[in-house]
Amino acid sequence: MYTEKDIQAIVSAQRKFFRTGATLPVKWRIEQLKKLKAAVIAHADDFTAALAEDLGRSEVEAYLCDVGPVIVEINEMLSGLRRWARPELHFSGWMCFPSLITRVYKMPYGVSLVISPFNFPILLTIGVVAAAMCGGNTVVIKSSSKSAACTAVLKKFFAEVFPPEYVTLIDGGHDIADMCLAQRFDKIFYTGSPAVGRHVLAEAAKNLTPVALELGGETGNWCVVRADADLKDAARKIAFIKLTNAGQICININQIAVAEEVAEPFMEELKKAFVKQIGEHAETNPEYPKLITDAAYDKCAGLADEYRERIVFGGVGVKETRKYAPTIIYPVDINEPVVQHELFCPLLPIVPYKDAEADDLMDVIADREHPLAMYLFTKNIRWADRVMQTRQFGGGCINEVCIHMMVKGVPFNGTGHSGMGAYHGEWGFREFTHPQTVLKGSTYFNLPLREHPYSGEAGKKKMALLKIFEK
């Protein structure tokens, strides 16, 4: 068990190491990222076993969703870091004459704190740590106590690969997290719920520490299925994402709005897709993941019982294994409580609406908190493009689900109640660096333009020159 003094000593040691300048050279950072990648590959089986223990993940799902994406992310950093870290050269402008050269240096913040979640404990720990390292920071990690097996593996992993004054993992519960937040860090990156995000932000504000938040969204992510959508294709993709990690995904579909004209045939396709992908009894299928804790299972099962009369598929589980089948609830009114908060489980409420009133539906969604993801299924790409360009959310897909977060070179995160900041690739490098602007002054040909006097004939001449320079 850590004490406040223990954590203070860890942060102090990292600050001392950072101030040596060891993390600044790009070549050194690349060497560390190569070490990280090699270690991830070497420990892939350990990660897979831990994910199976914590979340019931199969080997394929563990690699698809956690291990593989980490390797891809590090590869992108290795190929781009030299370019991203290169100082930018700018023309200072005639107002600054004769000091015409300005550079923007990408400087690391310093000692960073990464607080990672239970649902993708490998990806959302190592992936964020890699971004912090890429930016030249040291890293203290507070991993989730809920995913205990993964935390144990990660603690051993980081201790083997890096010295604690560079990267170290602290385990424990909320009390340990609060001890970490009480320290003065230079950057904090938190992944989790909006409720805890508020707490992290409030604690960081005491030291004016910049924060990135990757949150699930207060009122959940919407999927909209228009009447002209390819229902079979939509159902297949929706079933995939809802089955993944038993619905415990920040960018998962929380609820579906389906045009009432096609609601019945869509649900039939969705049922068939679930059965085809996981079988008729998902709750007993060894490939199907489990909910993270008994409390999470009880919450899911209890909510399903509240809507028992409207369950049209699923609605069963095995408490001993914490597996609850994908469950379709229909019909659900758009103002019911079940579609006004993030579910983070295999329940899938379906809200019928009139297809001709799709824009009204989008207005109702827009009035709620910004989601982390938005998914639209329709052949009317013009309408979909307009929606995507006029609504606020983290990211999304048209006629697809979730894989926007796997695209190289683009940012990932939310806005408002679904997060702040962004990462992945170069965006992660930017998140963990501060752009420092430095103008190189000249000691020759300096004009008295900016100096007093500002009145009389001298003032008139200066005003005339200023207006010329401003054009």
Indicate which residues carry an active-site annotation. Answer: 214, 250
Nearest one of 183, 174, 237 to 376, comparing CA atoms: 237
Q: Regarding beta strands 433-440 and 222-225, do their DSSP bridges make them parallel or antiparallel, or are they unpaired? A: unpaired
State the sign of the Cα–Cα–Cα–Cα dihedral 28, 29, 33, 35: positive
Q: For residue 146, report the phi and psi dihedrals to the nearest 5 degrees.
A: -70, -40
Bond prior to 453 in cis (omega within 30° of 0): yes
Burial class (CB in 10 A: 0-12, 13-18, 19+), 99: middle
Q: What are the structure tokens assigned to 173, written together?
A: 């519960």
Q: Are 250 and 395 in contact (CB under 8 A)?
A: no
Q: What are the structure tokens assigned to 257, written together?
A: 């709005």
Q: Regarding beta strands 373-377 and 222-225, do their DSSP bridges make them parallel or antiparallel, or are they unpaired? A: parallel
